[in-house]
Structure 1
């Protein structure tokens, strides 16, 4: 791992990945941030790639929560956060027990699924009425968001699958999303630390 900092392929993958994640967090790049971990996984183990990005994401979350402070939907957070915690736990278990190749396969599959979903949505006309909040749906998409957030920092698409049809005010949706992912990313610090990923090399 110490050779990582002298590997030009690391910088070739990490620099554009961090820029794309930053653009996505800032709202300019849409969903392009989901390529961050898969791109970095070309040059290093995917769990290490996710661990390197996590502190950066936490700093971005502070700005997001500050920007949207006090504007959020409490019910959506209450319905989705317990499942997200379960999803993070499942992601932790997956990263601890399966091989690096299997984690790489999961990260690739998650990225591919969300690309295909994006393509599908380009040709699909949405419903013209808002959906009602649904605890059953939240109990499904919350864990999915937590799991995909843990393994590849791509919890946004599952969160949006549940949240967008409810058609909250855009500011309320942004504030709710900011709090949701600030909380999940902060929780992820514990398992990533337990996995030994916050060593000198990764933090540097």
Structure 2
């Protein structure tokens, strides 16, 4: 991994996306980091670079929302996430880089489709009664997609939005669930060699960017429309996802 101008030209915006989202603005935008980095790095390095930075952000957010979560809801999802993470690790161990690029690109396109469907009212989750075992199922889906590309937000939201949580409880529960999922992932990342000396060293340079992104998210929340921000994010993710799928297939 060369820490050159090209690397930082992609890595800094990627980490800023994640930090801005963790700062409470543009929830879900953190997922944009992995597809962006996967354009210039092997997928394993892209996700390996981001996980320690996301865990640092998790700790900061966890302190801010301490004990404001819904424990029964979080517990079910955290238990369900375990087999999802194991499945993700199993797939990673047998898949090549192009398969991972295709998966990251597909999840990026799917993320945009999910958000647009909700924004246009085609998909309404609030107030719906979940099926038996839904928390375990969607927790597993969140664990799997989070392992592959740090994209567990949409599956988690499908379940959390049916629970009638207020905004603060929803955010706190999300933070707790993904703090646990990222801890699960870290052990497998070490075992599978996804963490390397290069990714950890590169991450050191990006820690200030991560914190800066969190503070930027707080500021953007006050001065910029989330609709405008998401519009840019969706266009970016569509282009990036399509490019990753094209690269994987060709």
Structure 1 segments of 4+ aligned residues over 2 angstroms from their partners: 125-135
**Aligned twin of 2:3:** 5
- C-alpha spacing 1:158/1:128, structure 2 compared with 1 (3 Å): closer
RMSD value, Cα? 1.7
Which structure 2 segments of 5+ residues have no match? 202-250
- C-alpha spacing 1:166/1:197, structure 2 compared with 1 (3 Å): same
**Aligned twin of 2:43:** 46
Q: TM-score, normalised by structure 1?
A: 0.92
Cα separation, 2, equivalents of 1:60 and 1:129: 28
Deviating more after overlay: 26-35 vs 112-121: 26-35
Shift of 1:175: 1.3
**Aligned twin of 1:194:** 191
Cα separation, 1, equivalents of 2:185 and 2:55: 10
2:154 is the alignment partner of 1:157: yes
Shift of 1:12: 1.8
Q: TM-score, normalised by structure 2?
A: 0.76
Counterpart selection for 1:140 from 115, 137, 151 = 137
- C-alpha spacing 1:76/1:186, structure 2 compared with 1 (3 Å): same
2:18 is the alignment partner of 1:18: no
**Aligned twin of 2:31:** 34
Cα separation, 2, equivalents of 1:155 and 1:149: 4
**Aligned twin of 1:117:** 114
Deviating more after overlay: 30-39 vs 52-61: 30-39
| Offset from partner CA, 1:143-196 (integer Å, 9 cap, x none) | 110011111111111101110122212111111111101111111110111111
Which structure 1 segments of 5+ residues have no match? none
